Amino acid sequence: MSAPKILVLAGSARKDSVNKKLAANAADIARARGAQVTHIDLTDYEAPLYHGDDEAENGLPDSMKAMRKLLAEHDAMIVATPEYNGNIPPLLVNTFDWISRPDGEDRSNPFAGKLAILMAASPGGLGGVRVIPRLRAFLTDLGMMPLPGHASVPGAFQAFDADGRLTNDRSRGQIEGLVDTLIKFLDRA
């Protein structure tokens, strides 16, 4: 059986993003369990704010065409995201909105039937958990199947060492448990 293909990304473009660090830790854990991991930085997939007239005139930006294709080639997605006022950050909403649109004749849904793991990091004490049910609902409406549960990293400015490794054992355990479940499901699929 070939290794499951997992796309990993963070919902922040910030250079020192704690969610980028969280995504990198999740990618390492998934790799260590034999998955074929593609870890991307959304900074490399910039797109203008979605506008229907822009889409009607120009179609999808090349970055979003590439992102759409990339997701379609994977079995699952791991998302590490900040919460902005308890909600999904505009970077993720904009990216997922764009790639939910048809690319010319290609009307396929790149999200359909893919599994997802959700995680959040925040410098605050709740670890950004308020975004999780909102992201779960959004991805479900897009056709994905987010796994139950989540990982969160509270106090995230202190939770990574100088090499970016997650030092919070509780959060690390949550990621490992989610990745193990994901791979079990993908092996059966």
Ligand X SMILES: Cc1cc2nc3c(=O)[nH]c(=O)nc-3n(C[C@H](O)[C@H](O)[C@H](O)COP(=O)(O)O)c2cc1C
The pairing of strands 115-121 and 145-146 is: parallel
Q: Measure the CA–CA gap between 64 and 97, rounded to whole angstroms.
A: 10
- CB-nearer residue toward ligand X: 170 or 184: 170
Q: How far apart are CA 41 and CA 61, in angstroms?
A: 17
Number of residues that bind ligand X (CB under 6 A): 14
Q: What is the DSSP letter of 48?
A: P
Beta carbons of 47 and 13 less than 8 angstroms apart: no
In the complex, minimum distance from the CB of residue 20 to ligand X, in angstroms, rounded to a whole number = 6
Of 55, 59, 63, 84, the residue at the interface with ligand X (CB under 6 A) is 84
φ and ψ of 150, to 5 deg? -160, 170
The answer to whether residue 86 forms part of the interface with ligand X (CB under 6 A) is yes
The verdict on 2 binding ligand X (CB under 6 A) reads: no
* In the complex, least distance from residue 31 CB atom to ligand X, rounded to whole angstroms: 21
Residues that bind ligand X (CB under 6 A): 12, 14, 17-19, 82-86, 122-124, 128
